[in-house]
Structure 1
Amino acid sequence: MKSTCIWTASSPEAPLDAPRLEGQAEADVVVIGGGITGLSTAIHLAETGVSVALLEAGEIPSGGSGRSVGLVNAGMWIPPDDILEALGPENGERANSVLGQAPAEVFALIDRYAIDCQDTRTGTLHLAHNARGEQELERRYQQFSQRGAPVELLEGEDCQRRIGTQRIRRTLLDRRAGTLNPTAYTRGLARAARQAGAHLYTHSPAEGIERVGESWRVDTPAGCVRAPQLVIATNAYTEGHWNQVRDVFFRGHFYQVASPPLPDDIAGDILPERQGAWDTRMVLSSMRRDAEGRLILGSLGCGDTKPETFLRCWADRIQRHYFPQLGQVDWECTWTGQVGFTPDHTLRLFEPAPGILAAAGYNGRGITTGTVVGKGFARYLTQGDDSSLPLPVRRAPPLRAKPLWSKAYESGFTLYHAGQCLRIVA
């Protein structure tokens, strides 16, 4: 398999030709990070006439924003009642409401700026892989329904027709959601930010920040930029000892493998409405088909550290379990992205210092969360109002034993996948 992100290779949105920051510049707001959060912040600030300078360490995108599964999901990773338990009733329902509407915010940006990201708006499917998973989907269905979400619990023939497998008897369809090509979406946001008036700089990693009078100065290898307000949107790709975002989450990974394009006479019954899907396994398996008909499978863990034979064995096991009608699949490519995790599976929005806003810990929901957080940051910076953010901006205490969290997660994922390959785990 080639080590290539299929989203980059197949993106209909062209790469952005942005300069490197050289010399000195000034702006009203500096944004560090050219992923979805940073670009959404830049768009919504620039649309109101605010001068924005955005710094990206590599190309746009070079991090997780372009390497995800591409699911436009509503809510957080955990179900609504668990969010209330983690955040309290007031903040929990606020997060449920704002993030429940997040797919609509993504699709509105796509429409407003004509972003060609191969998006679908037919929902997503959460698959119950066993009886316990069926109970979990029932629990989620009741909680979403109580809040007026357009969800359906599909069973039997209707369920199997939507997925293209006989292995699943119950699935939860969330009609708010959809899919897209994440590289194309991120490139489209960059184009939109520039069109709105933001100044974008690539290959310009932030090497440090310093308070200078009433402004923050951000240094890069070839220049610096000053602004009274600063947004740090680096999340799972946070580097540098100066960046306090690194203290509030732990880093994980998600790998994927993609087949060649599969003709409809072979694979047309698999996810025929192009919904993205994932199952209720302890270590989930994700599955979707892209605009060219590829089957894309994914799971938690770092594929970059695993031999190709391990990845092929895992992919074959999942494909033959769910979609045996495909026969032998010759997997085309594989790639891995990084994920910002928190122990309670909720995000962090905070002010590391006066004039600085930061976000981290999206727990695998970066497309929708990053989009609404960027919009909310822009409103907070211009109006002092944080009500459109999923949570109030508040203090975020450092995460204790952070290296242990990362090691424990990765070790657990690897052991689980090894069990799947050896048929110890069903």
Structure 2
Amino acid sequence: MTEQANNSLWAKTRHSEIKVNILDHEAVCDMAIIGGGFTGCSAALRLAEDGINVTVLEAEFSGFGGSGRNVGLTNAGLWIGPDDVVKALGSAYGERLNALLSEAPSLVHKIIEDNDIQCEALRNGTLHFAHSEKGMDDLKKKIEQNARRGIDLELLDREQTFELSAAENYLGAILDKRAGTIQPLEYCHGLMKAAEKAGATIYTGTPALDIFKVGDLWYIKTEKGLLKAKKVLVATNAYLSKICPDLERTFTPMYYAQMATDPLSEEQLENYLPGKNGTWDTRMVMRSYRTDEAGRLIIGTIGNIFMNNAPLFTSWANKMVRDTFPKVGPVEWTYKWAGRIACSKNYVPNFHHLSDNLYSINGFSGRGISPGTAIGREVADFMMEKKTAGELPLPLKSPENVPFNLLRQAFYETGSQLTRIKDHFL
């Protein structure tokens, strides 16, 4: 199995049709977006709704990359807490970003509703499990930090957590009712179709091979065509290919792998996330559990499932189900996949000024759905000059390299593999 095969549950069970529309001529637009994931499609929708002549270039199809291989949780905020966001960005930017991302799940679900996107949307809250006393302390800090900002999250004890999730061995959880679950590939496709309906021009199967400036226009070269634009946003996140290679040093690529079963029986579902909440835990090498509309068991963790036929992934997943949901019984894994994540230096997205009227956004660090949707709209407003750089929730900056990036990448992957070995034999 190769990464390019995109053998995900979401790809195998999608209902929407992939239509390839290759740019095979010379075209001109006001604004161009390279990348058809959450951020690029959200920005394109915002621009098109405002009457801007915008064109999207997507190398494969909407959601081919990390967007379409996502866990599918419409979470609020980032992996780090609100105080850490302020520490990373300063008070002005940090609190604007915290406020924006607190409301981001509402934005996602409103877009889904307004555009009738069929993506199994369910907004009944997510659970952040505490796997240890330290994890429980971390959740309490998260509760306190959000409470200071007027956000009420519900802290569940062990008994309440088990009642809602049927998950063993967790000490408690945060129930965040702002959030929910979606079929991420269908949501991304729906975003792209909404942008197209609003007036955006969409080209798929059209990777950008080179970008250069002639006079006041940017020229984006593709295999069979050429796109000219006044302004360009590069929104490829961890799936950079030919263009802007210097951006690869501004984030650390890592993988998040998932496995899924065929639909469980009714009896099994009574003992596996009966509240149908999407979940993740406080481990450094985190685990996620969720189900989909058909009732499949879906488990995820950090690591590259494409490496050497994914050693121990299957046996690890079997053990996690036995330990966490013992009444479910043995399962068979029908789907196995992973997506690349762009992990920024401080776990806050990067908004880069690459050159005059050339920008990029990356580094969502595994939180792409709600933040990507919300920040894509903010960047679109900036490109339309509706907001200044100082009014954005992220600072506009020159690209900065992640220190010791190759070592950081090896640390993530090796750590995830060693954790699976430890989990497997304990």
The alignment's TM-score, normalised by the length of structure 2, stands at 0.95
Cross-structure match for 1:53: 55
Matches within 5 A, 1:217-366: 217-240=219-242, 242-307=244-309, 310-366=312-368
Identical residues among aligned pairs (%): 35
Matches within 5 A, 1:20-39: 20-39=22-41
Unaligned 5+ segments in structure 1 are: none
Given residue 71 of structure 1, which amino acid in structure 2 is its aligned partner?
L
Matches within 5 A, 1:16-415: 16-240=18-242, 242-307=244-309, 310-385=312-387, 386=389, 389-415=392-418
Give deviations 1:95-140, integer Å, cap 9, x for gaps: 1111111111111111111101001111110001111111111111
Given residue 181 of structure 1, which amino acid in structure 2 is its aligned partner?
Q
Instruction: Give the Cα separation in 2 of the matches to 1:259 and 1:299.
Output: 15
Given residue 279 of structure 1, which amino acid in structure 2 is its aligned partner?
D
Deviation for aligned residue 1:402: 2.0
- 1:9 pairs, out of 9, 12, 19, with 12
Given residue 315 of structure 1, which amino acid in structure 2 is its aligned partner?
A
1:237 aligned counterpart, secondary structure:
coil
Give deviations 1:179-227, integer Å, cap 9, x for gaps: 1000110111111011011111111110111101111000000011001
Given residue 51 of structure 1, which amino acid in structure 2 is its aligned partner?
N
Instruction: Give the Cα separation in 2 of the matches to 1:16 and 1:334.
Output: 21
Mean Cα deviation higher: 80-89 or 101-110? 80-89
Shift in CA distance, 108/277, structure 1 to aligned 2, threshold 3 Å: same
How much is the aligned-residue C-alpha RMSD, in angstroms?
1.7
Deviation for aligned residue 1:308: 5.1
Given residue 416 of structure 1, which amino acid in structure 2 is its aligned partner?
T
Deviation for aligned residue 1:65: 0.6
Mean Cα deviation higher: 286-295 or 370-379? 370-379
Shift in CA distance, 241/226, structure 1 to aligned 2, threshold 3 Å: closer
Instruction: Give the Cα separation in 2 of the matches to 1:389 and 1:32.
Output: 21
CA contact 1:376–1:388 (8 Å) conserved in 2: no
2:337 aligned counterpart, secondary structure:
strand
Cross-structure match for 2:425: 422
Instruction: Give the Cα separation in 2 of the matches to 1:85 and 1:48.
Output: 34
Deviation for aligned residue 1:384: 4.4
Deviation for aligned residue 1:270: 2.0
Mean Cα deviation higher: 409-418 or 399-408? 399-408
Shift in CA distance, 86/155, structure 1 to aligned 2, threshold 3 Å: same
Deviation for aligned residue 1:83: 1.5
Shift in CA distance, 241/31, structure 1 to aligned 2, threshold 3 Å: closer
CA contact 2:256–2:301 (8 Å) conserved in 1: yes
Deviation for aligned residue 1:401: 2.7
CA contact 1:22–1:222 (8 Å) conserved in 2: yes
Deviation for aligned residue 1:387: 6.7
What is the number of residues matched between the two proteins?
422
Shift in CA distance, 389/417, structure 1 to aligned 2, threshold 3 Å: farther
CA contact 1:16–1:190 (8 Å) conserved in 2: no
Instruction: Give the Cα separation in 2 of the matches to 1:293 and 1:324.
Output: 17
2:300 aligned counterpart, secondary structure:
strand
Deviation for aligned residue 1:43: 0.7
Mean Cα deviation higher: 213-222 or 234-243? 234-243
Deviation for aligned residue 1:411: 1.0
Shift in CA distance, 3/245, structure 1 to aligned 2, threshold 3 Å: closer
Given residue 94 of structure 1, which amino acid in structure 2 is its aligned partner?
R
CA contact 1:127–1:278 (8 Å) conserved in 2: yes
The alignment's TM-score, normalised by the length of structure 1, stands at 0.95
Deviation for aligned residue 1:242: 3.3
CA contact 2:349–2:365 (8 Å) conserved in 1: yes
Instruction: Give the Cα separation in 1 of the matches to 2:163 and 2:282.
Output: 19
